[in-house]
Structure 1
Amino acid sequence: MAKVLMNTKTETSDLKWTTHSRSRPEWEEVSGLDEENNSVRTYQICQAEGSSSHWLRSKMIDRRGASQVYVELLFTMVECSSRNTHHRSCKETFNLYYYQSDVDDATPTYPAWMENPYTKVDTVAADFLLRKGGEKKVNVKTLRLGPLSKRGFYLAFQAQGACMALLSVRVFFKKCPALTRSLSVFPETVPRSLVQEAVGQCVTHAAQPATNARPPKMFCGEDGQWVDQPTTSCTCLPGFEASHGELECKACASGLFKMGSGSGPCTSCPENSHTTETGSSVCTCRPSYYRAPTDSADTPCTRSPSSPRWLVPQVNDTSLTLEWSEPVDSGGRSDLSYSIECRICSAHGGFCTTCGDGVNYKPSQTGIQGRRVSIWGLRPHTSYSFTVLALNGVSGQSQQGSAGETINVTTSPNVPVLVTGLRKSTATESSLTLYWNKPTQTHYRILQYQLRYCEKERGSEENSCQFMESSGNEAVLSELRRATAYEVQVRARTFAGYGSFGQASVFRTLPDEDESTSPLLVTGILVAMGILLLILVIAAAIYCIRKQNHFKDPEMSDKNGQYLMGQGVKVYIDPFTYEDPNEAVREFAKEIDVSCVKIEEVIGAGEFGEVCRGRLRIPGKKENYVAIKTLKGGYTDKQRRDFLAEASIMGQFQHPNIIHLEGIITASCPLNDGQFTPIQLVGMLRGIASGMKYLSEMSYVHRDLAARNILVNSNLVCKVSDFGLSRFLQENSSDPTYTSSLGGKIPIRWTAPEAIAFRKFTCASDVWSYGIVMWEVMSFGERPYWDMSNQDVINAIEQDYRLPPPPDCPTYLHQLMLDCWQKERTARPRFANIVSALDKLIRNPASLKITAHEGAGPSHPLLDQRSPLSPSSCGTVGDWLRAIKMERYEESFLQAGYTSMQLLAHINTEDLLRLGVTLAGHQKKILSSIEALTNQNKPAGNVLY
């Protein structure tokens, strides 16, 4: 989406731009015709002789927040051979500049009419030239300028021998239009860099979950196109569903509902419920139907069950068993249970009252899952009414109450009364002797007594209860458990049968709290006291021995004056009080020979370097596993001093709960089974490059080349994997590319800048990624660009920042990385060149010993032995600038007097600024090239490569 800042085609009056020339002719404003024969205001100039500069400057253009703008030029150019002019002074090009300002302060003399303070955009050449009798063709050129930072800018055109007409000038910038996607709305966004982050919000009737409150995000590319799929968790609210491809949240129609947030659709109301409104999150139950409090909104509505059927009683004197069949209608629920209601009624069928607590139920009176219950403890010769209720989860909400089936029963008249007065006579560890009162009634004869006794801790479980009979009112319960409480009940039997069990009483076997202490308990106490006394004696002896040895230990002696006088306490000495840290190390730490230590694996990372697991075997001692802290390569003097100070501190401590320092190694490095040599790393990199060479020759681009996608076997053979983002390249042009039009995440840290900005993927963009892989391998898995954000990485690359060499990285390898990271993709090497360069390094391993801090200057390019910077190939300043792709400054160098290669030797940054080279990256590239040329012309020394 383009936003126009200026368009001369739409102007209805004179443009009145400012012109400047030291000689005639000047730029002249005239009316002309565009390519569609519409009348427009144009500027034209036709120089006859000379090469003086003729300037034309527009009025101030407000940038309106844009950081990059585009200039579309329509112009015609007369061919030099068709003009009567000197061929050397005739030009078929012109220059475009711009000047930024916060105020409209330009005058005919300010700013000065020269490249600095103006910034050059480009030298514009015509594709079509006008010649006598030839067809009139209009040239169209679009150029980008920026970055812009001030309120506005001026455009300036410089002609130096051209005969041309400037038909129209259109200035615009690109912005990403407002967008709705994935239930998120993103505002119109102006990109201020290669990729601009945009923050959006959820559409109406959508929200993010409380666990993820981060707003939706999306990236706007420099070309005005949205780069990626949005990062969002917006979902439609309850009662709404996504519609029109997740562009909006639409209310559920009448009869439909959606109970929660999420991506699901609206659904029909559950059974026995309905809704007449739109946007419903719950459906209302129909009359006589309900939901239990634990039911969710998407469950059907249900009702209370019908009455139980076929209630059958079985009376046995004063006990009763009830059985029944399940209801015909369960109410549509599976949580069916039963409850028993008991009432005592008068003899003549009159008023009934609720039964008391003396009636017992098994398994229970309420919440019964089965369809059978036993009841005992009833009164003899008494009328009862029992009702069995069927219940479910909504029975309490029904206005009709629970449905039940009722039956009336009468107990037997000749059942004996309850037995009372159960007491304990004696108790042992395994028996209880009990007795009770005889019933005083004389109208029946008691035939027998029955005792029921259960372990109290185990409740009334069937396997914990036992029964015994007694002919009299006394009994002995034997084979009981020691120190255990028992719950005991007694009932009497007559000719009419058993009566009800009397009230339960609890009795405990010995030993008990209220019983006299047994001899065994006394013996146990005496033994425990003896053991305790023995422990105290042993502890006192150990204390005395250790105290005596403490004063005899030579390591604890006062030879260095490290004790407090008269107290025998060792004093910690700060190692930083030593002028030389090595002196503190020699005093407090023991040097260990490197041959005694073997590193097995890395287990972590510390402040100074890696932490490893290894084995220590000192002659004459047992081999032990140890933890090894290492000082990373490339350390500073301060880091080494701090590292040794830590060892000096640890060496002063001797305590079982303080880490013990075995010693230090300062003479050399211990062996590490997992450490790679530089030649091994280069071999691995060569394997990766060979695989990518094969893919590129098959016209495939990987798009996600990174160390994480390289598999390595036990022989260090590397295999390229993860082809989820690979694409086939259409070889329909001299520069095949793959353009991604879909979404998908881009691995920013590994992706070339043109692929990030324009989604243009080529084998050259894979070469950029390969350079990052090289850096990962040589840094042993360090994260590229460390903790920089993706946006910081994009900005840094745009400003020509490149990753520095990893510690101890050979200079040649880092130079190869820099070759892979050339901004212009055509300047990057091909994978065949990379394989060849790595083969040269493998054949000459001595070159791998030259690291960045050892080299005397910039390294030579690896990919071509005949460097374009060699004196033989750069005969002129123009050839040299074209070789390093800085040909835009050729005219400035020549006009400033730099006409030969010898004059470039002492050029500096201030000279480049005067020449109009204002970009830091261009300055660095030119100065590095000059330094390389200077080094090539020096006589060879004793440097080994």
Structure 2
Amino acid sequence: RLNSMTVDGLKPGTTYVFRVRAHTDGGYGTYGGEIELETSHEDMLAIGDPNQPTILAVSIAGGIVLLIFLVACFVISGRHCGYIKAKQDPDEEKMHFQHGRVKLPGSRTYVHPHTYEDPNQAIRDFAKEIDASSIRIERVIGAGEFGEVCSGRLKLPSKREICVAIKSLKAGYSEKQRRDFLSEASIMGQFDHPNIIRLEGVVTKCKLVMIITEFMENGSLDSFLRKHDGQFTMIQLVGMLRGIASGMKYLSDMNYVHRDLAARNILVNSNLVCKVSDFGLSRVLEDDPEAAYTTRGGKIPIRWTAPEAIAYRKFTSASDVWSYGIVMWEVVSFGERPYWEMSNQDVIKAIDEGYRLPAPMDCPLVLHQLMLDCWEKARSDRPKFGQIVNILDKLIRNPSSLKQLTQSSAWQDANAQDCLTVATLEEWLDAIKMGQYKENFSAAGYVTLESLIYVNGSELNKIGITLPGHQKRILSSVQNFQTHGAHLQV
């Protein structure tokens, strides 16, 4: 059997991407991850041993079977195939081919399911088949793009019964819908990290096709935070952020780019552990038509997406870092909507002009600075996920560093001027985004702005405003009026 491949006809000083698979008596194996090589300025390039004309031997499975390097693509007579990419920017990782030597990636690399000739093989490689009789569906907890999401129980032989989430494919599906649905399992099954949602397995051999994952009791992070506004300490929030960053570092190290990192795609369990989820290749981003800006390449969640990804569809781990900065803002603001009621076009224009989200209320200075670092225009200037994890670890070890707060809060920056020019109590509540409490104030006899000077914490409890975050926002706004000498009058 051969264990080397020489590639001729390559251009000097050019970057190529190769994919490799084994060929044995049993047939072809699956492709491995992409190997990016940059040719030297010499006339010939080969893959191999530096002591011979560049021959590289690769062994697998304890040396039982030797791989034949089959080059999936190369240039012949100046023609480029689909796997050959343009030269990457200096800030991106690259494998250099110099003096006949190449450093192969030592860490595990994510394999895209679409690189498989047979998509079902990707499922077999990365997802365990579960017998449908092992699953007990209990109740519907939501709706996914392809069908219902339920909670239930999984009991495998010789293992204890566990709670699981069950995504099912709705009846009448096409083969493409089945393939797209199961592609998420092919991706998720490659990951093994405490801050990445865990795949338990799939059911593909019966009419009801299902994906089984661990069950996350507290649901999505954005709705969980809104439900518990103001009820977590800053160190708890930083702990959540640290978990998300750790999961994203793992994905980045595997060369996986998420593209849709947002609090709605983070799940929370009963121990407040946050796990990155939503690895579908085909997504409906939100029901709100304003949530996504349609381009020729598909839908992009504008409020969470880096400028270069919006403009040029340049998605990298650095664009995921930008999205992570938005997630930080969502967490510290307890699920506030990024950029409030601004339209997508206004967000794009504002970002291009240098605008960045101001600090949420009571946000530590160091956290807002980290957000701003994630939102650097030049992606090479943004921190890597490993650096973000280290920064958050230091903050957790030294909680006193979280005590210095930013001088202004996001809602004040966005609405303080409006608050000083409102004419009615209802307008004031709308300005501080507390309009849901209009009936509470009215029923308690608060009908004019002047009457609010008597409002305090205990009074807010009496009229049914009990969430600490909401109380703090209302009381701070009253103080803001008095500080600016408006005395709650126009």
If the TM-score is normalised by the length of the shorter chain, which range does it land in?
0.3 to 0.5
Bigger Rg, which one: 1
TM-score between the two structures when normalised by the length of structure 1:
0.18
Higher RCO (CA < 8 A, seq sep 6+): 2
TM-score between the two structures when normalised by the length of structure 2:
0.34
* Bigger fraction of residues in strand: 1
* Bigger fraction of residues in helix: 2
